[in-house]
Amino acid sequence: MKRNQVLVFVALAAFSLSLAAQSSGWPPSAEHQTLAVWPAAAPGVPANLPAEADTTKPTDNLVAGRPLARIGNVSKPTLTLYKPKGNNTHAAVVVFPGGGYQILAIDLEGTEVCDRLNSAGITCVLLKYRVPGTGPYPKSDAALQDAQRAMGIVRSHAAEWGIDPSRIGVLGFSAGAHLAAALSTHFDQRLYQPLDAADKLSCRPDFAVIVYPGYLANAEKALAPNSDINPTASTPPQFIVQAEDDPVHVENATNYFLALKHANVPAELHIYAEGGHGYGLRRTALPVTTWPQSVEAWLRTIKILTAN
């Protein structure tokens, strides 16, 4: 390839990534309030870390024919508020994007989810938690620290944000789904020294939506249940969805569902024949991508949303 052709290719690739960033909704616009999760440095964060950046490459896979933004090197976690513009049900969801605890799929499993929740009258709070190497708990407790702190902050702003503090749930994808399950089973004790009034409020979610989870089945032990995620009668109601052909293994969903059932936790499980992994809520011809409608029906069933 001639030098001029190489330059043109590089320029086109850079332009494509720029357009993808603009359409991703990230960074968030000024209309969305963003708060730091920690008033100073997050617990245990070393100095001189690489700068946060979109690590997406032109060769990365597309989802439903569209690119996605992969945010890496997050050392300063944030919460971004997305408020419904019309009807407000006063329910709220804190969203945990996935990315293997290495990056965050910030649009596919973040901003796009918030837009969908807002359309249903639900307030969305997007957690940009620390990556890479920050989970799964207990290998690292950094991401779970961020999630615990985030729930307390959201509850502390409930009146200001028009949220019912008894109807705040979590929704996570892949590693973020594991994080949602970890928070649902590790809320009784903070993994850090309390800092302020927000840390005196409960960090227990009122419900959890678990979408194509990872780390809930131990691949090194014949896909046995993860012994570090132990539901009890205090674990909140859960909605779980995964495809049978998910390369991350559908046992992550089925094992967790059975653990919830044995603990008498209300749970709803949806297993689809096809879908793979990492589809977010981008609609395709596959039935698995209708899962958001099923979640809305479930939220009405458990009285988080009122019936239409």
Distance CA(284)–CA(290), nearest Å, equals 9
Three-state DSSP class for residue 211: strand
Q: Would you state the structure tokens that stand for residue 12, as one six-digit string?
A: 């086109």
Say what the pLDDT of residue 3 is: 55
> Bigger pLDDT: 148 or 86?
148
> CATH number of 3-301: 2.60.60.20, 3.40.50.300, 3.40.50.720, 3.40.50.1820?
3.40.50.1820
Say what the pLDDT of residue 47 is: 84
Say what the pLDDT of residue 243 is: 98
Query: Is residue 201 within 8 Å of residue 156, measured between CB atoms?
Result: yes
Say what the pLDDT of residue 20 is: 44
Query: Is residue 123 within 8 Å of residue 91, measured between CB atoms?
Result: yes
Phi and psi angles of residue 125, each rounded to the nearest 5 degrees, phi first: -125, 115
pLDDT at 195 over 90: yes
pLDDT at 130 over 50: yes
- How much is the CA Rg of the chain, to the nearest whole Å? 19
Average of per-residue pLDDT values in the chain? 92
pLDDT at 97 over 90: yes
Say what the pLDDT of residue 118 is: 97
Tell me the helices (H) and strands (E) count for the chain, helix number first: 7, 13
Phi and psi angles of residue 124, each rounded to the nearest 5 degrees, phi first: -115, 140
Q: How far is CA 95 from CA 48, 165, 251, in A?
A: 28, 16, 23
Say what the pLDDT of residue 201 is: 98
What ranges do the domains of the chain cover? Answer: 3-301
Query: Is residue 187 within 8 Å of residue 179, measured between CB atoms?
Result: no
Three-state DSSP class for residue 204: coil
pTM > 0.75: yes or no: yes
Distance CA(125)–CA(103), nearest Å, equals 18
Say what the pLDDT of residue 308 is: 57
Q: Please compute the mean of the pLDDT values over residues 196-221 and round it to a whole number.
A: 96
pLDDT at 162 over 50: yes
> Which of 8-12, 115-119, 125-129 is predicted least confidently?
8-12
Q: How far apart are the first and last CA of the chain?
A: 60
Residues in CB range of 21: below 8 A, 6 or more apart: 54, 69
Distance CA(275)–CA(242), nearest Å, equals 8
Say what the pLDDT of residue 23 is: 62
Q: What pLDDT, in 10s, does the model give residues 34-63? A: 999 999 999 999 888 999 999 999 999 999
- What distance lies between CA 227 and its chain's CA centroid? 22
Q: Please compute the mean of the pLDDT values over residues 130-135 and round it to a whole number.
A: 97
What's the chain's length in residues?
308
pLDDT at 265 over 60: yes
